[in-house]
Chain A
Amino acid sequence: MKKEKFGCRISHSEPGPGDGGRTGSWRVKRPVIDLEKCIPAKTKKAACFTCWLFCPDGVITKTIPPTIDYEYCKGCEICAQECPVGAITMVEETVFITEEK
């Protein structure tokens, strides 16, 4: 019987990042963390991490200080909205384009 001929020929997807591409390119504004205000950054203690909890895309780390993966951050601004001390501000991406130039 020629079973070996019939391989797995179905829609079989394997886990990996970036299915939707570099979703950071969707962003119009970039969240920037002010380490002077950010609670874990300021106190150097594991605390708060509200931004990490609510980030829909899991692109903020639960570290001291928290960091943001701009490769994939879609710029939704939830972190800026929910930060209890207003440590995250949204900065126009054009600013960074000028800087990079």
Chain B
Amino acid sequence: MTEKTTILNLSEDELVHPGNRACAGCGLSIVYRIGLKALGRDTILVVPPSCLTVLQGLYPIAATQLPCLNVTFASTAAAATGVLGALKAQGRESTLVAAWAGDGGTSDIGIQALSGACERGENFIFICYDNEAYMNTGVQRSGTTPQGVITTTTPFSGKSQKKKDVPSIIAAHGIDYVATASAAYPLDLYDKIVKAKTMNGPKYIHIHTPCPAGWGFNPRFTVKIGKLAVETGLYDLYEIENNKWRLTGASKKLIGKKRTPVNEYFNTQNRFKALSDEQISDIQKEVDIKWQSYDETYGN
């Protein structure tokens, strides 16, 4: 790994045009803007329906300065495979192929194609921005919606099932690089994408992406809430490189430290208002057990 990227040496080349249709304070806008800097201009994007489809612009104007193929919901990773196949056939293999999908497009309808592409070892980066529900259609539950969260399809008592652990599912394919990231830590995301670019085969990056409209908070807190998810130990930043799992960045700094109570994260968002004290206490216990194991394994 080369030196960590800082604000000062991060490229000023902007690949996303302003005046796009993303909501004010959109977490995706942050990760997309920084993520494209990391991918660079020699990249072809593949995008299924999601908020990104709207952010990217309505015909005939595109907010993105990279070539991009919009594809059907279930087909993202297969379409990336097709772009790769054509590039290979034409000897244009130096061009990077990146798929960029939401959590529904990754964990639910897109998982078959993603699993297939991972198994075939396609040389691409798959980026999932996880805002934990179907936001573009108006906040319906998805496979990655956390337990207890109110959505328009879990309207009163919240989602009863747990969040699907997509990075672990993808890691089980035995691919060389899986990482998690957060919109609140864009430089960590940048470095992970840059690292992924140096590796062969499928690379998967899962980004926790706060959504003011869907989560029910003032847009000014997008970054703050992203940080709280990490600081409470609910959402961990890690990478699995050649089968080696390690905490990174802000999560790594939490090892052996006192974490913020999960309650403080839940209190910032309307979507958690159905959680009972008992449920919150159960979640706190789960997080504590997880972190006890991290502390024992990775602490000094």
A contact set with B: CB distance below 8 Å:
11-23, 26-27, 46-50, 52-54, 56-59, 62, 69, 71-72, 74-78, 80-82
Q: Which range contains the number of B residues in contact with the other chain?
A: 35 or more
**Are B59 and A49 within 8 A (Cβ)?**
no
Proximity string of chain B (61-101) to chain A, C-beta cutoff 8 Å, 1 when within and 0 when not:
11111000000000000000000000000000000000000
Say if the beta carbon of B290 comes within 8 Å of chain A.
Answer: no
Q: Cβ of B49 < 8 Å from any Cβ of A?
A: no
Distance between A89 CB and nearest chain B CB, rounded to angstroms: 12
Q: Are B7 and A53 in contact (CB under 8 A)?
A: yes
> A21, A23, A56: which contacts B30 (Cβ < 8 A)?
A56
Q: List chain A residues, Cβ under 8 A from B169.
A: none
Majority SS at the chain A contact face: loop
Q: Is B269 an interface residue (CB 8 A)?
A: no
Subset of 23 A-B contacts with CB under 8 Å: A13-B60, A13-B62, A14-B60, A14-B62, A15-B17, A17-B19, A19-B61, A21-B19, A22-B19, A23-B19, A46-B8, A47-B8, A53-B10, A54-B186, A57-B18, A57-B20, A57-B22, A59-B18, A71-B19, A77-B220, A78-B25, A78-B220, A78-B222
Q: Which of A17, A27, A80 has the most CB of B within 10 A?
A: A17
Which residues from chain B contact A59 at a C-beta distance below 8 Å?
A: 18
Q: A54 contacts which chain B residues (CB < 8 A)?
A: 30, 186, 223
| Smallest beta-carbon distance A71→chain B, Å | 7
In the complex, B234 has a CB within 8 A of chain A: no
Chain B: minimal CB distance from A76 (Å): 3
- Whether B29 is near chain A, meaning CB under 8 Å from some CB there, is yes
A34 to B149, CA, bound (A): 39
Does B224 reach chain A (CB closer than 8 Å)? yes
Query: Residues 215-254 of chain B: 1 if any A CB is under 8 Å from the residue's CB, otherwise 0?
Result: 0001111111000000000000000000000000000000
Tell whether, in the assembled complex, residue B21 and residue A76 are in contact, meaning their CB atoms are under 8 Å apart. no
CA of A74 to CA of B20, assembled, Å = 10
The 6 closest A-B pairs by CB, nearest first: A56-B29, A77-B220, A76-B25, A18-B19, A72-B18, A74-B24
The complex places the Cα of A11 from the Cα of B60 at a distance, in Å, of: 7
Q: How far is the CA of A72 from the CA of B20 in the complex (A)?
A: 9
> Which chain B residue lies CB-closest to A16?
B61
- The listed residue (B8, B19, B65) touching A72 by CB distance below 8 A is B19
> Chain B CB within 10 Å — which of A47, A49, A57 has the most?
A57
Which residue on A lies nearest to B16, using beta carbons? A58
B277 contacts the other chain (CB 8 A): no
Inter-chain contact A52/B7, CB cutoff 8 Å: yes
Q: Is the CB of A80 within 8 A of B220?
A: yes
Residue in A48, A49, A52, A57 whose beta carbon sits within 8 Å of that of B29 in the complex: A57
Contact, CB under 8 Å: A17 / B18: yes
Please, how many angstroms separate the alpha-carbon atoms of A68 and B214 in the complex? Answer: 27
Known pairs A13-B61, A19-B62; A56 contacts B220 (CB<8 A): no
